[in-house]
Structure 1
Amino acid sequence: MDTNPAIPTRAKGTGAHFVNGHSPLHSSYSADTDRSDRESTFNAIKSSMGPRNEPLDVEELQLDDTTNGQRSFHGSTASPKQNPSARQYEEVADGDIEDLDQKISARDLRDQVPLTPPATTRSASPFVSQNPTIDFDGLSWPSAGTLSRLREREHPTDAEARLEKLSGAVRTILECIGEDPDREGLHGTPERYAKAMMWFTKGYEENLRDIVNGAVFHEDHDELVIVKDIEVYSLCEHHLVPFTGRMHIGYIPSRRVIGLSKLARIAEMFSRRLQVQERLTKQVALALSEVLKPQGVAVVMESSHLCMVMRGVQKPGAMTTTSCMLGAMRKRAKTREEFLSLLGRR
């Protein structure tokens, strides 16, 4: 059937004066016609909506899935596969919630407190388990040359030889960039820089066990503990230039709390090494998780990198934000949002 695009079409059961709006001024308008057409339009809309869906009663749910009886839902026959069963409301996938009997691996009998079952919102990080465990008897994530540097504390002669070797390397750098290491302004600079570099990287000589120093206490507290705005200074391992910023650490205790100053000291220990911000953030979170076995840990760091400011793209003011969420802080959206809102960075 040909249709003229200039003539508007209307749904079946709709009166002529309803096209583009009805009006009492229309030539075909009358009160009876208007009432009749309204009822016809209402019935047409109602018939297109189908039968009304009614909620099921609890008694209608069949516990036996093996029955092949068919029951009618508003005139329609449901197949056995479509038949609602109470069992589907009981079975939950293993990955959806944590085991209600899960307990914290305790070092003390008082630590055996079950976790509150969380609503999983983020999967566990596949990279956390790949990190080396913390060595309480040695160093935390040591590098190949760290142990020999640590042993030099008891051998001043070896420490002096290391410092002299580093000073020579700095002198070579000055010569390579076109400077004269023997001029007045640079006299003694290689030695000063060598001592400064050893200070900048003193975190290699520090141990997590000594940093904590037994400052872990049992306390009946299971709400957020947050220390904000911890100043952090570190060296970018890609260019050996500083990046500075602030770190925010929070955790939910499980009957164990740590001295607040220790959070800043842990951040200081890991930052006084050659670092990338992503690894620094995760190392602090994993260290705190290892020491306290809390319900959850969250670490957020914001910093400015001089390798982006002084060279390369040269963008002053650019801030880099990294985070690491473990345990309940990663799995519970509400808990994570509470932490971020308390930081004022939601």
Structure 2
Amino acid sequence: MDPDVGLQVAARAARDFLEALGVTCDEPGTYNSPLRMAQAYREMLTPRAFEMTTFPNDEAYDELVVVRSIPVQSVCEHHLLPFTGTAHVGYLPGDRILGLSKFARVVEMFARRPQVQERLTRQITAWLDEQLRPGGVGVVIEAEHTCMTLRGVRAGETVTRTTALSGALRENPATRAEFLAAATA
């Protein structure tokens, strides 16, 4: 479907949805709300395209590389409400090293879809493991879920932490501890 046509269909559906819940969409402040709502969800559910950039590991670097505080913005697949936080990603380089900006792109690629945090953490780990064939990968995600803070239990400022590890980061206790200390410092 043409993206512009899809956006208009989504805006009509958003209007129907809002009006079914008693929200008037004919006021000056809400007239364009259905379109803005459709645009917002399209943005939240669409990752930017990127090309994986790796480089030969000419220096034979074999120590831990950790990129901390990568923004995470996703949508809970159960309530379609946002969850936001940070990802900390690390790896032990093999034959190739990853361009540093690509860590944020990989996080976004998996986050921009209806998702659960546990799966998101594993998907990032598995994808980096498959693409780079490193000595190990570690991902820690810390996020606040609005489906928990704004509705239901309304437990404000709660943070959920998930971890996924592979290779030496999972199997070697010292390497695991080094990654977790670096990622959550």
Interval of TM-score (by shorter of Structure 1 and Structure 2) = over 0.9
State the distance in 1 between where 2:3 and 2:155 align: 39
Map 1:286-301 to 2 at 5 A.
Answer: 286-301=126-141
Deviation of 1:318 after TM superposition, in Å, equals: 1.2
Give the equivalent residue in structure 2 for 1:321: 161
Q: Which AA in structure 1 matches 2:144?
A: S
Where relative contact order (Cα < 8 A, 6+ residues apart) is larger, the structure is 2
Give the equivalent residue in structure 2 for 1:144: none
Q: Which AA in structure 1 matches 2:180?
A: L
Alignment RMSD (CA, Å): 1.4
State the distance in 1 between where 2:173 and 2:28 align: 60
Q: Aligned pair 1:182/2:22, yes or no?
A: no
TM-score by length of 2: 0.94
Residues 211 and 265, structure 1, Cα contact 8 Å, conserved in 2: no
State the distance in 2 between where 1:196 and 1:307 align: 17
Deviation of 1:272 after TM superposition, in Å, equals: 1.3
Deviation of 1:159 after TM superposition, in Å, equals: 2.2
Q: 2:66 aligns with which of 200, 221, 226?
A: 226
Q: 1:216 aligns with which of 54, 57, 62?
A: 54
Q: Aligned pair 1:263/2:103, yes or no?
A: yes
Secondary structure at the aligned position of 1:229 is classed as strand
Deviation of 1:270 after TM superposition, in Å, equals: 1.2
State the distance in 2 between where 1:340 and 1:315 align: 26
TM-score by length of 1: 0.51
Secondary structure at the aligned position of 1:235 is classed as strand
Map 1:24-43 to 2 at 5 A.
Answer: none
Q: Which AA in structure 2 matches 1:273?
A: R
Aligned identity (percent) is 44
Q: Aligned pair 1:163/2:3, yes or no?
A: no
Segments ≥4 residues shifted beyond 3 Å:
none
Unaligned runs of 5+ in 1: 1-151, 153-157
Residues 301 and 323, structure 1, Cα contact 8 Å, conserved in 2: yes
**Residues 173-220 of structure 1: CA deviation (Å, up to 9, x unaligned):** 1111112211222111111211121111112x74xxx431xx211111
Structure that is richer in strand per residue: 2
Q: Aligned pair 1:243/2:83, yes or no?
A: yes
Map 1:292-311 to 2 at 5 A.
Answer: 292-311=132-151
Q: Which AA in structure 1 matches 2:56?
A: H
Q: Which AA in structure 2 matches 1:274?
A: P
